[in-house]
Chain A
């Protein structure tokens, strides 16, 4: 029988009996547990109070908008502008918008599944995408104009390289293999072209940028239309794939003789040159805010009155138009599950179209020209389920646009 060691029984006051487990959970421990409970309750109360205060604050400034939080997902191309707009809109109205730049296809899928309130895409939805899951169509609200720059790595060039549509298509088809080809020299008289191989860099994954470029190439080159065709991802005859815009930009930067395509702001950011493409009127145009806006203006002016704005801007008319441009859209269900939520999204879009052009320019993106933006807002106003809501703008939408445009007209056009 093992011997049990006993402690002396006499107790010092305040100290529990050593060796007795039950008495170790003594007064001190109870006090500690109570204090912990009180602390956690206080934290909870504080959190609830601040949450309520926050809601109250937002509610006062929101002018009666029922939705405080919106979620959206979609294109990566306009993300810098959307991020700024979201921050400004929140400061102004308290409405919190969460936008995830997962790509146009992802945005369309999420909208179809109903997991986000709005989507964003650089590529208009195809018919089977649009009528896929839900009743009704999808509203395409154009927000910005994007331009796709053709970048290249040719040492020793001072001015932008000049390219014609047919030559551009042949470069990407692999029919022109060297930069000192006579066709390139003919378009660039007096320029010393290095005797380098043409190395095409394209996007490895599908993207809206690829869609815009292939849309253009399919229009200007029958060989391209019969071959790779237009799509977010195509069968590239030659070249290597870079992963993402940064991948393509990095490869072009590091490979002498490379030619690739990136969004114009990305080219500017990476310090890459952009080629001057000959547009329909015969002028060689580089991608700028002005030339992208001119393309949007020209195509919208020619569009019928009831257009749904699923317009392609490539190969636009007009002497100042850049030929490889595209609208980028916000997507909202035309028969929404939640009308109040859809109205909140459209209110944000309206605000951005009216007051967001300065922010867009600041980040280097082209806002919609005022006449185009006015047409978009007028169309939004004409939608029945949007008409009677707290955020409907008065009928003078066009007038308000011309008022807002006056201070901006002095800026670089």
Chain B
């Protein structure tokens, strides 16, 4: 067996150089090795191509299914209200608004808590508590959505109806706010937002924790050496350094908040009307499809539900693209500075 000739070690920053094929020889000889490499590359490329292919297949199926609804009403279906299966008039405006509203509210509630949890676990926790707390947070992420829905129906909704709604309305400044007015039944957009926040929190916390732990120790040591307090180190040095990763974690959470169906379907209250009050019932795109697809009969009804799926797909893509662009812009600004 001949010893293989290794290429010279790459200089830092030099472009990657592929070693010549003949340098790699196995037991079967040089030609077979080159063919094997090609086959290997092809196989890996095919596997990698399945992901965008699946995305394309889903998108095509959704567009085909939703085409009757798009041809009928077009953009108006997504921007108006009125869901009447008997007369076959379907409009997704309230569901779209509910989706965006509940996701935004869930993130608003969950992100500070999750970041605080991640910061504490990564920076400030005693070493022996780090692993148990991290494990508990990961456990929270593993609980299925339907369990949260059941808990929401049995525990959260009665509590909101009995205690939280009157307490919120009794607050000095915020209490008279229009978004807290109106009759309160229990199942509401607020209930859905709280459930989503609880589901999203462990995702953001877990990923942010990993990102924060990946910040090089040298940065922390340098900051501490310069006289920064632990709090200043954590918030002024570590968190900005890990900024892109944290934004990625938040986007992950947003993706889950936009797409969650069963838990939201159980607590949101199923009302096809523009959301006017957080304490009133509403709808989201995912909950709409989950509730109605089983019994939907009639082509227009099915097409409207496919359009809801397509709208959700589109919203997720747009939000993700926006987030990536935002992160890239911040990174460019940092690089320039």
Q: In the bound complex, do residue A197 and residue B183 qualify as a contact, i.e. CB atoms below 8 Å apart?
A: yes
Interface assignment of B185: CB less than 8 Å from any CB of chain A: yes
Given the contacts A105-B296, A250-B153, A254-B186, A240 and B269 also touching, CB distance less than 8 Å: yes
Which B residues between 252 and 271 are near A, CB-CB below 8 angstroms? 265-266, 269-271
Q: In the bound complex, do residue A243 and residue B294 qualify as a contact, i.e. CB atoms below 8 Å apart?
A: no
Given the contacts A232-B295, A240-B281, A247 and B183 also touching, CB distance less than 8 Å: no
Size category of the binding interface on chain A? 35 or more
**Chain B residues positioned under 8 Å from A88 (CB to CB):** none
Interface 1/0s, chain B 58-100, versus A by CB < 8 A?
0000000000000000000000001111110000000000000
Q: How many contacting A-B pairs (Cβ < 8 A)?
A: 92
Q: In the bound complex, do residue B84 and residue A243 qualify as a contact, i.e. CB atoms below 8 Å apart?
A: no
Among the listed B87, B269, B295, which residue makes an inter-chain contact with A106, where contact means beta carbons less than 8 Å apart?
B295
What's the least CB distance linking A3 to chain B, in Å?
15
Among the listed B84, B154, B270, B297, which residue makes an inter-chain contact with A235, where contact means beta carbons less than 8 Å apart?
B84
Given the contacts A241-B271, A255-B185, A206 and B294 also touching, CB distance less than 8 Å: yes
Q: In the bound complex, do residue A205 and residue B86 qualify as a contact, i.e. CB atoms below 8 Å apart?
A: no
Q: In the bound complex, do residue B266 and residue A251 qualify as a contact, i.e. CB atoms below 8 Å apart?
A: no
A108, A234, A247: which has the most chain B beta carbons within 10 Å? Answer: A247
What's the least CB distance linking B133 to chain A, in Å?
34
Q: Number of contacting residues on B, CB 8 A? A: 29
Interface assignment of B240: CB less than 8 Å from any CB of chain A: no
**Chain B residues positioned under 8 Å from A250 (CB to CB):** 153-154
Stretch at the interface among A187-195, A223-231, A403-411: A223-231
Q: In the bound complex, do residue A105 and residue B186 qualify as a contact, i.e. CB atoms below 8 Å apart?
A: no
Given the contacts A103-B294, A106-B294, A235-B86, A255 and B269 also touching, CB distance less than 8 Å: no
What's the least CB distance linking B22 to chain A, in Å?
23
Interface assignment of A204: CB less than 8 Å from any CB of chain B: yes
Interface assignment of A207: CB less than 8 Å from any CB of chain B: yes
Q: How far is the CA of A231 from the CA of B84 in the complex (A)?
A: 10
Q: How far is the CA of A241 from the CA of B269 in the complex (A)?
A: 5
Among the listed B183, B292, B297, which residue makes an inter-chain contact with A205, where contact means beta carbons less than 8 Å apart?
B292
Q: In the bound complex, do residue B186 and residue A243 qualify as a contact, i.e. CB atoms below 8 Å apart?
A: no
Q: In the bound complex, do residue A105 and residue B185 qualify as a contact, i.e. CB atoms below 8 Å apart?
A: no
Among the listed B82, B87, B153, B291, which residue makes an inter-chain contact with A204, where contact means beta carbons less than 8 Å apart?
B291
Interface assignment of A129: CB less than 8 Å from any CB of chain B: yes
What's the least CB distance linking A119 to chain B, in Å?
13
Q: In the bound complex, do residue A231 and residue B85 qualify as a contact, i.e. CB atoms below 8 Å apart?
A: yes
Interface assignment of B158: CB less than 8 Å from any CB of chain A: yes
Q: In the bound complex, do residue B296 and residue A235 qualify as a contact, i.e. CB atoms below 8 Å apart?
A: no
Interface assignment of A355: CB less than 8 Å from any CB of chain B: no
Q: How far is the CA of A237 from the CA of B265 in the complex (A)?
A: 19
Interface assignment of B309: CB less than 8 Å from any CB of chain A: no
Interface assignment of A104: CB less than 8 Å from any CB of chain B: yes
Q: How far is the CA of A234 from the CA of B272 in the complex (A)?
A: 11
What's the least CB distance linking A26 to chain B, in Å?
24
Q: In the bound complex, do residue A234 and residue B161 qualify as a contact, i.e. CB atoms below 8 Å apart?
A: no
**Chain B residues positioned under 8 Å from A234 (CB to CB):** 84-86
What's the least CB distance linking B296 to chain A, in Å?
7
Which B residues between 293 and 308 are near A, CB-CB below 8 angstroms? 294-297
Interface assignment of A343: CB less than 8 Å from any CB of chain B: no
Q: How far is the CA of A93 from the CA of B186 in the complex (A)?
A: 50
Q: How far is the CA of A231 from the CA of B89 in the complex (A)?
A: 13
**Chain B residues positioned under 8 Å from A240 (CB to CB):** 185-187, 269-271, 281
Given the contacts A206-B295, A241-B291, A250-B153, A230 and B86 also touching, CB distance less than 8 Å: yes
Q: In the bound complex, do residue A254 and residue B265 qualify as a contact, i.e. CB atoms below 8 Å apart?
A: no
Identity of the chain B residue whose Cβ is nearest the Cβ of A211 in the assembled complex: B295
**Chain B residues positioned under 8 Å from A229 (CB to CB):** 86-87
**Chain B residues positioned under 8 Å from A239 (CB to CB):** 271
Interface assignment of B122: CB less than 8 Å from any CB of chain A: no
Interface assignment of B107: CB less than 8 Å from any CB of chain A: no
Identity of the chain A residue whose Cβ is nearest the Cβ of B265 in the assembled complex: A243
Interface assignment of B205: CB less than 8 Å from any CB of chain A: no
Given the contacts A241-B269, A255-B161, A231 and B86 also touching, CB distance less than 8 Å: yes
Interface assignment of A233: CB less than 8 Å from any CB of chain B: yes
Q: In the bound complex, do residue B153 and residue A247 qualify as a contact, i.e. CB atoms below 8 Å apart?
A: yes
Interface assignment of A162: CB less than 8 Å from any CB of chain B: no
Interface 1/0s, chain A 94-130, versus B by CB < 8 A?
0000000011111011000000000000000010010
Given the contacts A234-B86, A235-B83, A204 and B295 also touching, CB distance less than 8 Å: no
Q: How far is the CA of A240 from the CA of B269 in the complex (A)?
A: 5
Interface assignment of B157: CB less than 8 Å from any CB of chain A: yes
Q: In the bound complex, do residue A254 and residue B158 qualify as a contact, i.e. CB atoms below 8 Å apart?
A: yes
What's the least CB distance linking A161 to chain B, in Å?
20
Which A residues between 354 and 371 are near B, CB-CB below 8 angstroms? none
Among the listed A232, A235, A236, A251, which residue makes an inter-chain contact with B186, where contact means beta carbons less than 8 Å apart?
A251
Show 13 A/B contacts (Cβ-Cβ < 8 Å), sorted by A.
A103-B295, A126-B297, A204-B269, A204-B291, A229-B87, A234-B85, A240-B281, A241-B271, A242-B270, A243-B265, A247-B266, A250-B153, A255-B186
5 new A-B pairs (CB below 8 Å) besides A106-B295, A204-B287?
Answer: A204-B265, A232-B295, A247-B153, A250-B153, A254-B157
- The list of the 9 closest CB pairs from A to B, nearest first, reads A241-B270, A206-B295, A204-B270, A205-B291, A229-B86, A105-B295, A231-B86, A235-B84, A240-B269
